[in-house]
Amino acid sequence: MIEKVGVYCRLSDEDRDKLNKNDDSDSIVNQRSMCLKYANQNGWNVVDIYSDDDFSGAGTYRPDFERLIKDCESGKINLVLCKSQSRFSRDMEVIERYLHNKFIEWGVRFVSIVDNADTSIESNKKSRQINGLINEWYLDDLSTNIKKSLKNKREDGLFMGSFAPYGYDRSEEDKHKLVIDPVAAEVVKKIFKMYAEGNGYYKICEYLNNNNIPPRSVYKKQKGSKFVCSNCDYKNVQWNPDTIAQMLRNEFYIGNLVQGKITSMGYKVHKFKKVADKDWCRIENSHEPIIDMETWNKVQKILGTHLSPTKTGEIHYLSRKVYCMECDKVFMRNVYSVKGEKTGKRAYLQCKGAKKYHTCDNNKAIRMDELETILLNAINDLLDNYYDQNNLQELYNRRSQQDTSNCEIIKVLEKEKMNLNKKIEDNKTFYRNLYEDKVKGTITEDMFNMMSSDYLREIEAMTKRVETIDSEINNLQVVKEERKQADEILKKYKHIKELNKVIVDEFIDKVYVGVYDKESKIRDIEIEWNLEF
C-alpha cells in the first residue's frame, strides 16, 4: 500500500515557555523537519503538512487538526505522522477516539517518532495508552499549578485581569498594579454622586449619553485597548442601566482588589462557574481608591433597599424610609389632584398593608408635606442639642467610655479567635495523621471513621465560632466608625431649611407612623436615626 502521509505539528504556550533561547527542539520548524526526514527515509509520500501554533494539546478545536481529521475520513491520507504522540493530543479521550477507534475504522495508521507509537503494531497499544495517561497527567498537573500560581498572585495583591476596570489603567512600571485614569475616574465619581443624590440608573444614563460621555467599551477603544465586546455596535452603543448597576457595586472603586469570582470547571471542560462570595480573593487597600468610604456606604445602603425612581428618574428622599408602626409594611407614595393647590396635586403616604393587602388597620394616609415638616423639625432639634455645650461634654465622655469598652471586647475576641484557629490546625494535623495510619493499615476503617468524626465535628464547631467572632468584631468596629461619622455629619450642619435625599440619608434610617387617633387627631411618629450617639 502506498503511504499517503499527513504530517501534523503543534506548539502551545506551555511548550513555548519551556524553551530557552538556544533550544527550539519543540518548535514547529523542527517538528516539520524531523517528520519530513523520517518520511523520506521510509519512502513515504507526504501529501500535506498540518500545523497548529499556539493551540493547547487539551483543546478539542484546532483549525489544522480539524482539517487533518477530515482528510483522514475522506481517504486523502492514510498515515498521520507526528514528532510525538503529545503533539497529536494530550487528551486521553481524543487518543482513544481516533488512534484506537476512528483511525482503525478509516484505515489510517498513526506513527510518532520520539516515543515509537505505531498503530500498525498491536503490541504497541499499551505503550500508546500509557503515553496518553502520562500526557493527561501532565495536563492535570499543569492546570492545578496554573490555578495555584494565579491564586498566589491574587493573594499577593496583583491584578490578574486581562483589562483594567473602567477608571483605572495598568501601571507602566508593573502591569499587575492599577493606577487611576483621571479622565474615567471623574465619570465614576459623577455616577456615584448622582446615585447618592437620588438619581436612578436611567437618569444617570440619560445624563451621560446627553453629555456625549463615551461608554466603557468605546472609551477603551479610543485609548487603543485591544478590548473586544462581541455584542457591541461601537457606532451606536450607549450607557445602559446594567452597566451603572454593576459599577455601583464594584469594590475596585474603594481600593479593594476582588478577584477569583469565577473559575474553570476543568482543563477538559471549557466552561466556567461562579465562586461563592466567601471564597473570593479580596485584598483591601491594594490600590488608590476613586470613591471615598462615606459615598460608598451611602450608595450601598440605597442599593440594598431596592429603591424605585419616580417618573422623572429621580428617587424620592423618603422612598423606603417610612414604615407602618402596626404591620411593619412600607408606606406607599401616591399623588392626587387637589383643588386649591398651586401645583394642582398633593402627595400622600399610606400603609401598603392597608392600601394594597387590606390586612392593616392603619388605613389613614399622611400628607407628605406634613411628615416632611415633622422630620425637618426633628433634625433641627437634634442639631440644637448637639451644639449645646453641656450636651457636647456629656456626649464626649459617653463616647470615650464606649470606645474603651469596645476595644477591650475586641481584644478578648481576637485572642479567642487566635486560640481557635490554632486548635483547628491541630485537629487538621491529627486528622491527616489518622488518615495515614488507616492507609498504612495501622488502624481499621471502622476505627478511622469513629475517631475522625470527632475531629471533624470539632473543626466544624470551631470554624462556626470563628465566623461568629469575625461578625461580632466587625459589628463593634462598625459602631465605632458610625459614631465617628455621626460627629462628622453633625458638624456639617447648623440649621437645615429644606430636606433633600442627601440630608435624609445621612440622618434617618427609618420612620415609623402609627394609627391616626380620630379623637385627638394625632398619630405617633418614631424616628430611627442613622447616627450612633
DSSP 22-33: T--TTSHHHHHH
Same structural domain, 194 and 287? yes
Distance CA 319, CA 309 (A): 9
Of the three residues 251, 271, 304, the one that is the final residue of a domain is 304
State the SS3 of 96-137.
HHHHHHHHHHHCCEEEECCCCEECCCHHHHHHHHHHHHHHHH
Mean of the pLDDT values across residues 240-259? 90
Mean of the pLDDT values across residues 190-206? 89
Contact of 299 with 276, CB cutoff 8 Å: no
Give the CATH number of the domain where residue 277 resides.
3.90.1750.20
Same structural domain, 439 and 482? yes
Q: Is the pLDDT of residue 206 over 50?
A: yes
Same structural domain, 377 and 399? no
Query: pLDDT tier at 24 (50, 70, 90 boundaries)?
Result: very low
Tell me whether residue 333 is in a domain: yes
Which pLDDT score is estimated for 176?
83
Same structural domain, 517 and 374? yes
Distance from the Cα of residue 140 to its chain's centroid: 26
Query: pLDDT tier at 77 (50, 70, 90 boundaries)?
Result: very high
Of the three residues 244, 273, 304, the one that is the final residue of a domain is 304
Same structural domain, 379 and 408? no
Mean of the pLDDT values across residues 46-65? 81
**What confidence tens digit (pLDDT) does each residue in 294-308 have?**
889 888 888 866 555
Q: Is the pLDDT of residue 106 over 90?
A: yes
Most confident stretch, 65-69, 134-138, 399-403? 65-69
Tell me whether residue 144 is in a domain: yes
Distance from the Cα of residue 289 to its chain's centroid: 18
Query: pLDDT tier at 217 (50, 70, 90 boundaries)?
Result: confident
Position with higher pLDDT, 435 vs 376: 376
Most confident stretch, 47-61, 114-128, 172-186? 172-186
Same structural domain, 223 and 135? no
Mean of the pLDDT values across residues 89-116? 88
Position with higher pLDDT, 524 vs 124: 524
Other residues' Cβ atoms within 10 Å of the Cβ of residue 415: 10
Tell me whether residue 480 is in a domain: yes
Which pLDDT score is estimated for 25?
47
Single-letter amino acid, residue 338 = V
Which pLDDT score is estimated for 488?
67
Share of the chain above pLDDT 90, in %: 25
Beta bridge partner(s), residue 10 = 52
Position with higher pLDDT, 266 vs 156: 156
Q: Is the pLDDT of residue 60 over 70?
A: no
Which pLDDT score is estimated for 30?
86
Distance CA 510, CA 526 (A): 8
Tell me whether residue 369 is in a domain: yes
Give the CATH number of the domain where residue 24 resides.
3.40.50.1390
Which pLDDT score is estimated for 487?
62
**What confidence tens digit (pLDDT) does each residue in 137-177 have?**
666 665 666 666 667 777 777 887 778 889 999 888 888 88
Position with higher pLDDT, 184 vs 154: 184
Most confident stretch, 120-134, 314-328, 335-349, 378-392? 314-328
Distance from the Cα of residue 470 to its chain's centroid: 21
Mean of the pLDDT values across residues 267-285? 73
Which pLDDT score is estimated for 335?
84
Distance CA 199, CA 314 (A): 4
Q: What is the pTM of this model?
A: 0.47
Can you give the length of the chain in residues?
533
Position with higher pLDDT, 32 vs 273: 32
> In this predicted structure, which of 83-87, 108-112, 322-326 has the lowest mean pLDDT?
83-87
Of the three residues 90, 122, 152, the one that is the final residue of a domain is 152
Tell me whether residue 506 is in a domain: no
Same structural domain, 369 and 395? no
Other residues' Cβ atoms within 10 Å of the Cβ of residue 259: 22
Most confident stretch, 22-26, 74-78, 260-264, 381-385? 74-78
Same structural domain, 192 and 92? no
The domain in which residue 44 lies consists of: 4-152
Q: What's the domain count of the chain?
A: 4
Same structural domain, 175 and 245? yes
155 Cβ contact partners less than 8 Å away, ≥ 6 residues apart: 281, 283
Share of the chain above pLDDT 70, in %: 79
> In this predicted structure, which of 185-199, 314-328, 401-415, 482-496 has the lowest mean pLDDT?
482-496
Other residues' Cβ atoms within 10 Å of the Cβ of residue 150: 16
Other residues' Cβ atoms within 10 Å of the Cβ of residue 110: 23
Q: Is the pLDDT of residue 439 over 80?
A: no
Same structural domain, 143 and 237? no
Tell me whether residue 162 is in a domain: no
Query: pLDDT tier at 22 (50, 70, 90 boundaries)?
Result: very low
Report the chain's mean pLDDT, rounded to a whole number.
Answer: 81
Going by C-alpha positions, the residue among 40, 16, 14 that lies closest to residue 28 is 16
Query: pLDDT tier at 21 (50, 70, 90 boundaries)?
Result: very low
Give CA separation, 424 vs 314, 418, 420, 428, in Å.
51, 10, 6, 6
Which pLDDT score is estimated for 135?
63
Which pLDDT score is estimated for 47?
94
Position with higher pLDDT, 130 vs 318: 318
Tell me whether residue 157 is in a domain: no
State the cell numbers at 116.
Answer: 515509537
Tell me whether residue 310 is in a domain: no
Same structural domain, 19 and 142? yes
In the 8-state DSSP scheme, what is residue 343?
S
Going by C-alpha positions, the residue among 479, 475, 474 that lies closest to residue 403 is 479
Same structural domain, 194 and 338? no
496 phi/psi in degrees, rounded to 5: -105, 130
Mean of the pLDDT values across residues 340-352? 80
Which pLDDT score is estimated for 385?
78
Query: pLDDT tier at 23 (50, 70, 90 boundaries)?
Result: very low
Single-letter amino acid, residue 230 = S
Dump strand ranges (E) for 12-93. Answer: 45-53, 79-82
Position with higher pLDDT, 147 vs 15: 147
